[in-house]
Each structure stands twice: as structure tokens, then as C-alpha cells.
Amino acid sequence: MRQIALILFCILFFSSCYQQERDCTNFHTGTFEFETLLDGELAKTTFIRNDSIEIDYFKGKSDTASIRWINDCEYILQKLHPKSMFEKKAIHMKILTTDNDTYTFEYGLVGATNKQRGTAKKIK
């Protein structure tokens, strides 16, 4: 009985030390795809990012935003040509995990507590 308790303790101890991979610099530049449900339909966004600019392509339209990297895994997106007061608000992006050519991220308006999650795939 004592050995079983020791084994369970060791399993719990070592599994709590596990940290997911996060190689964010691999995702600073490139072409990416992001899919999400929008009004019950699957919508795909393609975006091209270099170190300081991101161009989004969605439903035949493009939009450009500046990027300001906070650290290797976090950046602020600010639309260059906002069409409304809402579009003037900056978005905080945080890469949570990376895996080969995909990364999971969290995003929301700067200063807001409501966050969304998504997964992007690097295609180029």
C-alpha cells in the first residue's frame, strides 16, 4: 500500500512539472490560416505577417495592422486604417502553445478581461 502511494505521488509530482512547448519566434513571420465559427458557419481568415505588419484577408477584403511585440510570445495589433471607433481599439495577442506548424493563441481588446482562443496554422 505504501509503495502504491509513493508511485502515485511521483506520477503527480512529475506530471505537474510538464510544460507545453512554446517556440514563438517561429511564428513571427509567415502566412497563416485561422478558422472559426461565425454565426454558425465556418469562416476562414488568411493573414500574412512580417515582424511589424500583418495583412488579413477575410471574405475577399484585406485589412492591415501594425504589430508591436511585447515579448517573443505576445504582441499588440493596431489597425492602420480603422473605419469605426471599435476598429481603433488595439488587440492583445498571446501565443499560448506551439506545435510544429500550428499555435494556440488567446486574444482580446487591450485592457479587457474577456478573452477568446483560437488556433492558427502556418502554411508558408
CATH number at residue 103: 2.40.128.490
In a domain, 14, yes or no: no
Range 6-25 average pLDDT: 62
Confidence of residue 23 (pLDDT cuts 50, 70, 90): confident
10 Å CB burial of residue 63 (0-12, 13-18, 19+) is middle
Q: Give how many domains the chain has, as a whole number.
A: 1
In a domain, 1, yes or no: no
In a domain, 2, yes or no: no
Q: What is the mean pLDDT of the chain?
A: 85
- The SS3 call for residue 6 is helix
pTM: 0.76
Q: Which tens digits make up the pLDDT trace of 42-99?
A: 888 999 999 899 999 988 899 999 999 999 999 999 999 888 888 889 999 999 999 9
In a domain, 6, yes or no: no
Alpha helices in the chain (DSSP H): 2-16
Domain ranges, residue 59: 24-122
10 Å CB burial of residue 78 (0-12, 13-18, 19+) is middle
In a domain, 16, yes or no: no
In a domain, 99, yes or no: yes
The pLDDT, as a whole number, for residue 55 is: 95
Amino acid type, 41? E
Vertex 36: Cα angle to 30 and 40 (nearest 5): 160
